[in-house]
Amino acid sequence: MKKILVANWKMNPSSLEEATNLIGEIKEKLAGVKGVDMVVCPPFIFLNEVGALLKGQKKIKLGSQDVFGGEGTSFTGEVSVDMIKNAGAEYAIIGHSERREMYETLQIVSEKIIFSLKGGLKVILCVGEEARDEHGEFYNYVKDELEMALAKLNKKNLSKLIIAYEPTWAIGKKENEILSPENLHEMVIFVRKVLTDKFGEDGRLVPILYGGSVSKNNAQEIISKGNIDGLLVGRESLKPANFAEVAEMLSKN
């Protein structure tokens, strides 16, 4: 399986000019990276322009950071699957913890997944515990998230699903404040088991990424010991040279 690298720009940058410069630099720095599927997810407001700048090349795909999970047009402030697709995007991050902390329930997440797949977007579903406890309850937390979010997913759509394991407590931290690669390895086995229990052997086809304070300094260990199929990167994806180093590490593993 090809490794996957996803950039989540979150609510950055603050102007179109900066977004244009950023994608330009990312394209340049990642030009030599081979064998990695790369996805850049800018804020909605820059999707069209970034999409236009990515057109005509195959290396970097476009993704959104969210999507509206329903039909109709009377939804002020929302952005539909069609709009996202027409901007050139192929992927949507769904259920990011920063959205779920605000108001998004797993019921809403589940609907968003169904509508995205129906409309032809691939889904990057984020799951992860808020905290770890010594009794391992956090495993049940992640299992519940997966089961609720994927409750309505048809097995035939599994090839369009990516899971990003992002423990909330490890997001936005210093690069040495994240979980150990051994703990990550265990969680990836666990997520894989939840998927195969639900979908049978086909569950093995779903790539599992890690996200949470990934940097060029900790990525090598995460990649070599974490048992992952790729990475979902926040802050470090805004620094093209560092992001390219992470991409190189993925391409060599």
Nearer to ligand 13P, 29 or 96 (CB): 96
Provide the minimum distance between the beta carbon of 63 and ligand 13P in the complex, in angstroms, as a whole number.
Answer: 11
Provide the minimum distance between the beta carbon of 172 and ligand 13P in the complex, in angstroms, as a whole number.
Answer: 5
Provide the minimum distance between the beta carbon of 197 and ligand 13P in the complex, in angstroms, as a whole number.
Answer: 26
Q: Which of 18, 206, 204 is nearest to 122 (CA)?
A: 206
Q: How many CA atoms lie within 13 Å of 60's alpha carbon, on the beta-carbon side?
A: 25
Nearer to ligand 13P, 199 or 236 (CB): 236
Nearer to ligand 13P, 203 or 211 (CB): 211
Nearer to ligand 13P, 54 or 233 (CB): 233
Assess contact for 155 and 115: CB atoms under 8 A.
Answer: no
Q: Which residue is closest to ligand 13P by CB?
A: 234
Binding residues for ligand 13P, rule: CB under 6 A, are: 8, 96, 166, 171-172, 211-214, 232-236
10 Å Cβ neighbour count for 165? 26
- Note the Cα 99 to chain centre separation in Å: 13
**35 vs 37: CA distance, rounded Å:** 7
Is 96 an annotated catalytic residue? yes
Nearer to ligand 13P, 80 or 213 (CB): 213
Q: How many CA atoms lie within 13 Å of 66's alpha carbon, on the beta-carbon side?
A: 19
The residue from 98, 129, 166, 245 that is catalytic is 166
**32 vs 238: CA distance, rounded Å:** 18
The encoded tokens of residue 47 equal: 């999707």
Provide the minimum distance between the beta carbon of 204 and ligand 13P in the complex, in angstroms, as a whole number.
Answer: 24
**216 vs 48: CA distance, rounded Å:** 29
Q: DSSP assignment, residue 186?
A: H
Kind plus residue range of the DSSP H or E element containing 57: none
**161 vs 187: CA distance, rounded Å:** 18
The residue from 96, 104, 145, 248 that is catalytic is 96
Provide the minimum distance between the beta carbon of 93 and ligand 13P in the complex, in angstroms, as a whole number.
Answer: 7
Assess contact for 142 and 181: CB atoms under 8 A.
Answer: no
Provide the minimum distance between the beta carbon of 238 and ligand 13P in the complex, in angstroms, as a whole number.
Answer: 9
- Note the Cα 31 to chain centre separation in Å: 21
Nearer to ligand 13P, 23 or 126 (CB): 126
Residues with active-site annotation = 96, 166
